[in-house]
């Protein structure tokens, strides 16, 4: 009888303990719900603030007032992407150039705070009726030094590129700030020209240059990229300057020789001096460009060109005769030195890729983006120039990582240039 009373009392204690535990369980479930809501709000707020910061920097070239409005719009769009968070807070946008912003840069800080109503932890007191959630982000707009390298070879007049390129380029440079950015524009076909030297006042000169560009000739890609490299080097490298080259082409590299800025051969350039005589007399100790067509486009014999002059009737090159030139000093490993279209294209491709690697090394620190137009492009070659991870065979993780983007036809060229602009601006906004 005594034992029965003890067991009966124990059952009463268990009921009391269960009642207490249910209350604790309800409290913890409530904490999980309330703090879970706070976590979702915090994550959404963080995403919205980051998007607003990037939007502010992308549109800084339009003025701080416009950039601020775009930042607020980006914040609201991202915050509203998650339903059930209540009233959208208005972020605070603060522009500054003082410390910790690096001298010469513009910085922006965006702050946002919102309150959520609790459902359960408010039983702990009125101070827990709401929870404040805050987030902030700061971005720095680094100055840009960029060379824009444009293919103006003859094939551009037959694939729609001639008509589409000026608008695409003009829209592209509108994303950048003439107040702090420096941009040069180089074009190339058989000859290379620096159409707009490196300058902050780049908008009108590049607009005019692209509107009046003459298309024709071969694709001397290495020369255009060399001019881009030289222009970037006119601006000293400093910790807050971002160096970029954007390389556009619609075909294979198909010409070897010397850039137009090399007029006197030296010990390192005499390898491109060929023995040329014929209808257009040319001294045997001056450079000659050779090639002019890629295997995917034609199978004709290479032709030879004077790279230092061009008549007004043909602004691309002066043809010369080289009847004794049957070989050339190939640089690409494993490629025959016999002068033919296939060998010259392989060597021109190799030389351009090697130059790009020098531009990207730790001394120069240039990020390269490449754009290919049409169906007669060497995608692996453009990926190698950009150090795009998509080409595992050539990707070098110790060098700046760029990207190669392709426009199958001219109607997509503007969109591709804008994609590159977004990637450059993202790199500028740290």
What is the DSSP track for 331-358? -STT---B-SHHHHHHHHHHHHHHHHHH
Token pair of 399 as six digits: 């060098």
CA angle 404, 410, 416 (to 5 degrees): 35
What tens-digit pLDDT sequence spans the chain (430 residues)?
555 455 555 555 665 655 555 555 555 555 566 667 778 888 999 999 999 988 888 888 888 999 999 999 999 999 988 887 778 899 999 999 888 888 778 889 999 999 887 666 565 665 566 778 899 998 888 899 999 999 999 999 999 999 999 999 999 999 999 988 999 999 999 888 999 999 999 999 999 999 999 998 889 999 999 999 999 999 998 888 999 999 999 999 999 887 665 544 444 444 576 766 544 434 455 567 889 888 888 877 888 887 666 655 566 777 777 877 888 888 999 999 999 999 999 999 999 999 999 999 999 999 999 999 999 999 999 999 999 999 989 999 999 999 999 999 999 999 999 999 989 988 887 6
Which residues are 149's β-sheet partners? 186, 247
Grouping H, G, I as helix, E, B as strand and the rest as coil, residue 326 is coil
Predicted confidence at residue 328, as pLDDT, reads 86
Task: Give the number of other CB atoms < 10 A from CB of residue 118.
Answer: 20
Helix (H) or strand (E) holding 226: helix 221-232
Burial call 303-314: b when 16+ CB within 10 Å, e when fewer: bbbbbbebeeee
Q: Residue 381 — φ and ψ, nearest 5°? A: -65, -45
């Amino acid at each position: 009888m005594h034992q029965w009373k003890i067991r009966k009392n124990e059952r009463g204690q268990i009921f009391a303990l269960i009642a207490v535990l249910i209350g604790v369980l309800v409290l913890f479930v409530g904490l999980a719900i309330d703090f879970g809501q706070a976590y979702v709000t915090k994550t959404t707020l963080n995403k919205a603030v980051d998007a607003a910061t990037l939007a502010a920097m992308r549109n800084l070239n339009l003025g701080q007032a416009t950039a601020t409005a775009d930042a607020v719009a980006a914040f609201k769009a991202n915050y509203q992407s998650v339903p059930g968070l209540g009233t959208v807070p208005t972020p605070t946008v603060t522009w500054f150039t003082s410390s910790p912003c690096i001298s010469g840069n513009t910085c922006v800080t965006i702050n946002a705070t919102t309150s959520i109503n609790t459902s359960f932890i408010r039983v702990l007191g009125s101070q827990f009726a709401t929870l404040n959630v805050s987030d902030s982000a700061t971005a720095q707009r680094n100055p840009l030094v960029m060379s824009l390298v444009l293919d103006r070879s003859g094939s551009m007049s037959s694939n729609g590129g001639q008509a589409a390129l000026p608008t695409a380029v003009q829209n592209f440079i509108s994303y950048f700030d003439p107040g702090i950015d420096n941009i040069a524009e180089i074009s190339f076909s058989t000859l290379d020209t620096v159409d707009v030297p490196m300058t902050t006042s780049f908008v009108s000169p590049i607009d005019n240059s692209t509107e009046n560009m003459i298309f024709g000739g071969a694709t001397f890609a290495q020369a255009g990229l060399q001019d881009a490299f030289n222009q970037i080097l006119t601006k000293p490298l400093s910790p807050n300057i971002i160096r970029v080259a954007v390389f556009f082409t619609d075909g294979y590299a198909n010409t070897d020789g010397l850039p137009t800025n090399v007029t006197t051969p030296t010990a390192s350039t005499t390898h491109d001096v060929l023995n040329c005589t014929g209808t257009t007399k040319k001294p045997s100790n001056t450079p000659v460009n050779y090639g002019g067509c890629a295997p995917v486009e034609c199978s004709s014999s290479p032709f030879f060109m004077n790279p230092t002059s061009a008549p007004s009737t043909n602004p691309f090159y002066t043809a010369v005769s080289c009847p004794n030139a049957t070989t050339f000093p190939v640089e690409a490993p494993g490629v025959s030195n016999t002068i033919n279209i296939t060998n010259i294209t392989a060597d021109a491709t190799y030389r351009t890729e090697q130059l790009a690697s020098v531009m990207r090394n730790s001394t120069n620190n240039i990020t390269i983006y490449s754009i290919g137009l049409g169906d007669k492009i060497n995608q692996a070659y453009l990926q190698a120039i950009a150090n795009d991870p998509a080409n595992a065979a050539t990707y070098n993780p110790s060098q700046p990582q760029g990207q190669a983007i392709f426009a199958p036809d001219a109607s997509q060229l503007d969109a591709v240039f804008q994609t590159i602009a977004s990637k450059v601006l993202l790199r500028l906004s740290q």
